[in-house]
Chain A
Amino acid sequence: MALIEIAALTKRYPRVTALDALTVDVEPGIIGLVGANGAGKSTLIKILLGLIDPTAGGVRVLGLDPTREADAVRGRVGYMPEHDCLPPDLVAAEFVTHMARMSGLPRTSARERASEALRHVGLYEERYRQIGGYSTGMKQRVKLAQALVHDPDLLLLDEPTNGLDPAGRDAMLTLIYRIGTEFNISVVVCSHLLGEVERICDSLVAIDGGKLLRADRVSAMTVQRDVLAIEVDDRLDELGLPVRRDGRLLLVPLESDETYDVIISVVAALDLPLHRLDQRRHRVAELFTDQADQEVLDAAR
Chain B
Amino acid sequence: MQPAEPAAAGVIHDIGYQRYTGPRLGRRYAVRSLYVHSVRTAFGLGRSAKAKVFPWIVVGLVFAVAIVAVVVRSQTGSPFISYLQFSDTVGVPMLLFLAIVAPELVSRDLRAHVLPLYFSRPIGRGDYALAKLAAMVSAAWLLLAGPLLLILLGGVFAQQGGWSGAWHEITDFLGGIAYAAIAALVYASIAVLVAALASRRALAAAAIVGVFLVTAPVVGVLTAIGGTTMRELAPVLNPVTLVAGVKTTLYGRTDGLDVGNFGPMYISIAVALVVACGTLLVARYRKAGS
Contacts and interface: CB of A to CB of B under 8 A. Distances in A.
B225 interface: no
Contacts of A199: 1-3
Contacts of B3: 170, 173-174, 177, 199-200
Given A51-B120, A52-B290, A103-B121, A183 B113 contact: no
A192 B110 CA distance: 27
Contacts of A103: 24, 30, 121-122
A150 interface: yes
A285 to B, nearest CB: 21
A71 to B, nearest CB: 5
Contacts of B17: 120, 179, 182-183
A172 to B, nearest CB: 9
Contacts of B164: none
B162 interface: no
Contact of B25 (A84, A90, A105, A174): A105
A84 B122 contact: no
Nearest to A117: B17
**Which of A87, A104, A109, A179: most chain B Cβ within 10 A?**
A104
B76 interface: no
Interface in B114-129: 114, 116-124
Contacts of B4: 170, 174
Interface string B13-38: 10111111011111101100110010
Given A74-B121, A199-B2, A106 B22 contact: yes
Contacts of B29: 101, 104
A94 interface: yes
A85 interface: yes
Nearest to B29: A104
Interface stretch (A13-21, A75-83, A237-245, A259-267): A75-83
Q: Which of B8, B48, B108, B112 has the most CB of A within 10 A?
A: B112
Given A79-B116, A105-B25, A178-B6, A87 B108 contact: yes
Contacts of B112: 84-88
Interface residues of A, number: 53
Interface string B24-59: 111101100110010000000011100100000000
Given A79-B117, A170-B9, A178-B6, A101 B30 contact: yes
Given A105-B22, A124-B13, A99 B117 contact: yes
A71 B30 CA distance: 11
A51 B288 CA distance: 12
Interface of A: 46, 49, 51-52, 71, 74-75, 77, 79, 81, 83-91, 94, 98-99, 101-106, 109, 113, 116, 119-122, 124, 130, 146, 150-151, 170-171, 173-175, 177-179, 182-184, 199-200
A84 B114 CA distance: 8
Q: How large is the interface on B (under 10, 10 to 19, 20 to 34, 35 or more residues)?
A: 35 or more
Contacts of B27: 71, 104
A87 B17 CA distance: 27
A143 to B, nearest CB: 8
Contacts of A104: 23-27, 29-30, 122
Nearest to A77: B120
Interface string B93-134: 000000000000000110011101111111110000000000
Nearest to B25: A104
B113 A84 contact: yes
Given A84-B113, A116-B18, A174-B12, 6 more contacts: A98-B33, A102-B30, A102-B33, A103-B122, A104-B30, A175-B9
A50 B11 CA distance: 35
B46 A94 contact: yes
Contacts of B9: 122, 170-171, 174-175
16 contacts: A51-B290, A71-B26, A75-B122, A79-B117, A81-B120, A98-B33, A101-B29, A103-B24, A103-B121, A105-B22, A106-B22, A120-B13, A122-B12, A171-B11, A171-B12, A182-B17
Nearest to B111: A87
Nearest to A143: B117
A195 B1 CA distance: 10
Contact of A89 (B26, B108, B121): B108
Contacts of A79: 116-117, 120
A85 B114 CA distance: 5
A113 B21 CA distance: 11
B116 to A, nearest CB: 5
